[in-house]
Amino acid sequence: EEDARSRVPKGCRYVIGMASPYTNDGVSGQLAKQFRDVDVIGLNCLGYGGRLEAELGRATGKPVVLARRALAKAVGQLVAAE
């Protein structure tokens, strides 16, 4: 959690939620409650997948940024530039 806090620019409002992507213990519902008052949701664990991304988007009506998708796009751009 402290590592995540250090990456947020000063002055930005944020909420850090914790849930394991490796269990099926109502993760989407748990995270949806934690993130109901934010503008954008960022899932920064590579274990989070598209299903959770879609469930959170539906449950909150907020845009969701998935780390594995952002990483894949960045790598694709680097490879295409060579």
Distance between CA atoms of residues 26 and 10, nearest Å: 32
Is the model's pLDDT at 7 over the cut of 80?
Answer: no
Predicted confidence at residue 79, as pLDDT, reads 93
In 3D, which of 79, 7, 20, 27 has the Cα closest to residue 46?
Answer: 20
Predicted confidence at residue 76, as pLDDT, reads 92
- Predicted structure pTM score: 0.71
Chain mean position to CA 42: 3
- What is the average pLDDT across 21-49? 81
Chain mean position to CA 1: 14
In 3D, which of 4, 61, 9 has the Cα closest to residue 32?
Answer: 61
